[in-house]
Chains A and B, each alone.
Chain A
Amino acid sequence: MKLSNWFKGISLPRPPAAAPPVGLPAPEKVYLPLRQHRGAVAEPKVEPGQRVALGQVVGASEEFESAAVQATVSGVVEAIVDTVDPAGEKVPTVVIQNDGADAWADELAGAAILEDPAAVKATRPSHLLRRLREAGLVRAQVQGRPLHVDLSPPMAPQSYLYMTGIPVVRPIDTLIIRAVDVDPPVCPNQSCMGEASQDLAVGVAALARISGAKRVILALPSGVDAAGIAAIAAQYEWEVASVSQRAYPFASDNLLVQSLTGREVHTPYGEPRDVGVLLEPLISALDVGRVLSSGRPVIDRVFSVAGEVKNPQTFRVRLGTPISQVLDAAGGGPSRPGKIIVGGPMMGLAIFDPATPVTRETVGVFVQSAASVVAYADHPCIHCGRCVAVCPVNLIPSDLGKLCEFRMYEDAAEMNLMNCIECGCCAYVCPARRPMVHFLRHGKSEVLAGRME
């Protein structure tokens, strides 16, 4: 870690060593939202009353930024209803009644199977990309993009690059597989490390083949036994980097890219791809491997349950399982629940409906009881400067918070409000308990709304 980052960010308690995911039986009913990513909503391809097999496509779209949705149980489509996704938007959702047969769809039988990295390297990238698109893979994070969008080279440099006079598309030369979790104690990536095997090799080979990356960096959490995955890395000559999982938020995408490759990702419009880096979480790489080596779409999701439940652990659950059922499997939540947070405690989204289904963009929940829900205060900023000291991107959150509070949004934008990464460190350290992230998010949305006019 760079010396200049020593005082920045916050140090969270070390999360407990994550056990490998425990399989959960398929639920009675699955709820499959037709959008499980950033992008367009898929069209339903089934009707209520229709029988569907495992892996059969129930929703698909012609839009580029969309992912196909497959049935994750076999059974009968009960209805198409609206549910609310973690971000709070209504999404049409296919409800399937499970018949318990788990019969795979016939059309999947003929799919080509790529069982080792050598076979992947012999396959055309466009073919691999089509396979991923058909499988409807999504980068495993809230508002994650479909994987094929992440992997497709942009048609032209992004407009922000033109505006700054650097109109270059930098070819991707580095692939970073992130086994560190940004927001502990929700640790799905870490708990998958033990499972990494041939699937990981296939997945990484495919990602590298499609993107053209020559160099693969595996970012492992420090202080965790990772002998198994390190052996795989040694076998395929990947670089291994050790990243502290306590130093929040330095495992988040842009900052991780910067610390591992020295390349600075531009905010707010830039992405690692602009500087020639492709960064994928370990679970996404594993999913790619499983799709290619089994010829079937991925129907389950590694899902961590942390916080105030009886047995915090990581599960492997069918996509579409209501989160409440996963919580029950973890021993049940607190008697007076306070918050259920999709993601982690620092950056997650609190949901209001425990029946929200597990989707491709959710990786875990953090549960709080009513007693431990924190209260922000309506206290003036005392100008202590602690937020400035911790801000990982060198903003002056105290001033931005004040400007946004008093509706001087454009002034805040001039002080680089839009470069905020919403990590929440400023709010975490604020002695006055000001809702910093709330102010800054509100300010950002007002700035964007103002510029649209």
Chain B
Amino acid sequence: MNQNLLTVSTSPHILGRTTVRSMYLEYMIALAPALLMGLYYFGAPALITVLLAVASAAVSDFIVSFITKKPSTLSNLHIICLGLVLGQILPPGAPWWLPVVGGALTVFLGIGIFGGIGYYPMNPVLVAWVALAISWPEAMNSFLDPLPLGTEGDWAEAETPLMQLKGDIGTLQAFELGVLWLGKVPGAIGATSSWALLAGGVYLIIRRIIPWQIPIGALLGAVGMALLAAYTDPAIEELGLEGFAAHMDVAWFHLGTGGLLIAAFFVGPEPVSSPVTPWGTLLFGVGIGLMAIIVRTWGGLVDGAFYGVLLMNAATPLLDRIRPRVIGKVVNGA
């Protein structure tokens, strides 16, 4: 047989370097700063939680691939990355079974029953997170006071800024914005260091791993809604905020706390469950921002960012119908 036969196929004959694996690898690179900051503040309990979440997701994936008789897709890092995200949005001092159950729920309930990567309608991490939050509210709401690496002391339970906000509207002014953005406050492992999340998110946008519309939309929506709340909510008016700068501080507080930034940059733009069209992605982002602030200001729950993502996930097929005008398409009567 002739060894020099030529290959014939359709164009294009060259491809870009991005693969599913490299995409999730870059996701993890972008997540790293926030994760490292979380480990720095919350030490061993955080490390154990994250590792358990990742390991549980990986083992669950093996089980799923065994049951469905499909080759394991662990090598494309998709499951690992989702496990990592799950670990980052769990409280640091969680009991050991919480991340284990969470990782299993991510893979079984979030991905497996829908048929794997590309097919699930909702962000699997949030499916697991919501299941945990509904089933074990106490465990999911017990946060630790940050204890940076090297400082002596015992872990102490503490309330996150947003939990304090529920009880006392004055919390809006109780925190130095610098401390808040640095992340030295009680909170989920990888969600407190706002600057690290921002850096990772900007990296993802520059590398074109995520569409820029989702985070920008989320930030715009959150800032807009926070300003609206600051101007109209009587409870906030009692604080006696004067001028735009003071009102903007409310918005900065909201951006720097809770799950908003990790939802805007990492959880929301998760490729499978987010929309693809330019305007669809922008509205998706705006919806996340609005939901986050609405729930925080007027809702019964502590934070609305993740619920916002889930709600917008449900709207994704609708948002994908907002298609741009096709260039060259003949419009009747034009």
Contact = CB atoms under 8 A, between A and B. Distances in A.
Contact of B13 (A166, A354, A374, A431): A374
B334 interface: yes
A353 B274 CA distance: 45
Size bracket of the A interface = 35 or more
Contacts of A258: 327
Interface in A357-378: 366, 368, 370, 373-374, 376
Interface in B1-24: 3-16, 18-20, 22-23
Given A383-B272, A416-B326, A431-B23, A336 B4 contact: yes
A424 B329 contact: no
A338 B330 CA distance: 40
Contacts of A398: 276
Interface in B183-213: 208, 211
B332 interface: yes
Interface in A89-115: none
A388 B329 contact: no
| Residue in A163, A264, A431, A433 whose Cβ sees the most chain B Cβ within 10 Å | A431
B196 to A, nearest CB: 24
Contacts of B10: 435, 437-438, 441
Contacts of B326: 393-395, 416, 419
B13 A266 contact: no
B33 interface: no
A177 interface: no
A340 interface: yes
A121 interface: no
B4 A422 contact: no
Interface in A276-330: none
Given A165-B332, A422-B11, A429 B327 contact: no
B12 A396 contact: no
A40 interface: no
Interface string B129-143: 000000000000000
A396 B320 contact: yes
B232 to A, nearest CB: 35
Interface string A334-357: 001111110101111111111000
B69 interface: no
B224 interface: no
A110 to B, nearest CB: 45
A25 B332 CA distance: 55
A270 interface: yes
A370 B7 CA distance: 8
Contacts of B331: 164
Interface in A407-432: 415-416, 419, 421-422, 424, 427-432
A196 to B, nearest CB: 29
10 contacts: A10-B16, A164-B332, A346-B13, A348-B11, A393-B327, A394-B323, A424-B11, A424-B12, A431-B18, A433-B15
